Each structure stands twice: as C-alpha cells, then as structure tokens.
Structure 1
C-alpha cells in the first residue's frame, strides 16, 4: 500500500494535440484534478494562456512518475510539490526546465523550498546563495497545444 501524500503540479510548454489523450489517461490513473476538491481533469477544459495546474491526494509516496516521465519526454517544464509523510519522507519540490535533469529540493507542507542551515552556511558569498535560491524557483509558461492530431 505505501505511505500516501498529496501532490500539486504546474505544467507548461508546447504539446502536440495528438499527445493530449495519452497525458489525460496518465492524469486519470492518478485521479488528478484541477483543484484539490474539484472534478477530475478534463482536457477539453484547458485554460488558454495559463499553465496547467493539477492536484492529487492520497498518492503513493506523493509521486506521479508517469506524469513526470511524460513531461520530460515531451520537453514540458514543470514544478511538482509532493507532500510528506511523518516518519517516512519529507515534502519535496521537483523542477524540470524542459530539458536536462530534474532538480529536487526539500520543501515545506505549504509548498516552499527549504534549505538547511548547513547548506546555507556553505556559501562564502551572498551572491552565490542568491543565485542558488533563484535557481530553486521556476516560472512555468502557459501550456499550449500545437496543431491537429498526430497520425
């Protein structure tokens, strides 16, 4: 069964319309919704000009690996917060810029990145700390559907 935790993911970038059904199937697998207590995700109701925000509750480890993998495969930037489970794992924030590796950070239950004092003290210059803090933030662009259906 595993320990259960909530998740909130914000996704942006350009996705060919033909891949939307696959994405929606992954979202349905995790019972992701457009707000904490709303209806399940409906791809027909995508907001124009905004990133897609999805929420899930009671997910194993607070993880949605099929969604993460889909976004990475299709170059979709995302910011995912996963809640923690007391005695099992801490909350985390995972960032993906659309290419490269995902970056993960320890987080609070209210979706803020947390840096331990030992990590902060390791910086010798304030500007280096500020750069690291800025790197832990990511502005997610709107999710845009491209073209028609794929063959």
Structure 2
C-alpha cells in the first residue's frame, strides 16, 4: 500500500505561453488545487501577479513527480513541502531554483525547515547553518507566460 500525505507546491518563473496547457494537464493529473480539498484546477486559476500555490491531501509518497519534472525541464523554480508518514519517511521541503538539481531539506509537519545535531555539526558554523536555512526557503518569483 502506498503512503499518502499532504503536499503543497509553489511554482514561479517564465514559461512559454504555448506550454500553458501542458502545465495545466500536469497539475490536473496530480490532483492539485488552489486549496486543500478545493475544486479541480482550471486554466482560469492562474494568479495574475504572483507565484502559483497548489495543494492536495492524500498524495502518493508526498510527491508530484510529473509536475516537478516538467518544472525542472522548463526551468521553473518551485518549492514543495510534503508531510511525513510514520515510520516510513519524514516531512520534507524540495527546492528547485530554476537551474541545477532539486535540493531536499528536512522539515516539520508545519513546513518549517529543521536540522538535527548531526547536520548542525557537519555545517560547522552559525553562518553555514543560516545559509542552509536561506537555501531552503527561497522566494519563488511570479509565474509568467511569455509569448
């Protein structure tokens, strides 16, 4: 049986308008909405001047792989939080800045970043710990569709 948890994802950046329907299809296939337990996402639901924030309960493994892969392919920054499943996996935050790899950070059930003693010791300094928290909490730019 697949573990299912809550998930939220915020997406921003510039996307070719010709790919708008592809983005909508991926959002819908993941069962994401503008609110937890909200109505299905539609093309009219894009924000006018900010990043797109989406939510769902009961998401398999707490991942939106199809949507996240699309964002990585298109260079769309995103931040995803997913809850944990007892004795299986903990809550996490995934961060993609628009380039490079998706970075994973430990989080709590409220979406706050956390570190344990081992991570703090490996980071080695207060400045490195603060840099870790900054890297895990980037501002997601507005989502814009370009001609």
Q: Which residue of 2 aligns with 1:34?
A: 34
- Distance in 1 (alpha carbons) for counterparts of 2:132 and 2:84: 23
**1:2-151 equivalent positions in 2, closer than 5 A:** 2-147=2-147
- Distance in 2 (alpha carbons) for counterparts of 1:127 and 1:105: 17
Give SS of 1:99's match: coil
- Distance in 2 (alpha carbons) for counterparts of 1:72 and 1:122: 29
TM-score, with normalisation over the residues of structure 1? 0.92
Give SS of 1:122's match: helix
Task: Give structure 1 regions of 4+ aligned residues with deviation exceeding 4 angstroms.
Answer: none
How far 1:60 sits from its partner (Å)? Answer: 0.9
Deviations 1:39-85 (A, max 9, x none): 11112221111100011111110111001100000000000001111
The 1:4–1:121 alpha-carbon spacing in structure 2 relative to 1, beyond 3 Å, is same
Preserved contact between residue 120 and residue 129 of structure 2 (Cα < 8 Å): yes
Give SS of 1:141's match: coil
- RMSD (CA atoms): 1.2
Preserved contact between residue 30 and residue 66 of structure 2 (Cα < 8 Å): no
Give SS of 2:66's match: helix
- Distance in 2 (alpha carbons) for counterparts of 1:73 and 1:122: 32
- Distance in 1 (alpha carbons) for counterparts of 2:101 and 2:78: 12
How far 1:16 sits from its partner (Å)? Answer: 1.0
The 1:123–1:62 alpha-carbon spacing in structure 2 relative to 1, beyond 3 Å, is closer
Q: What is the count of residue pairs matched by the alignment?
A: 147
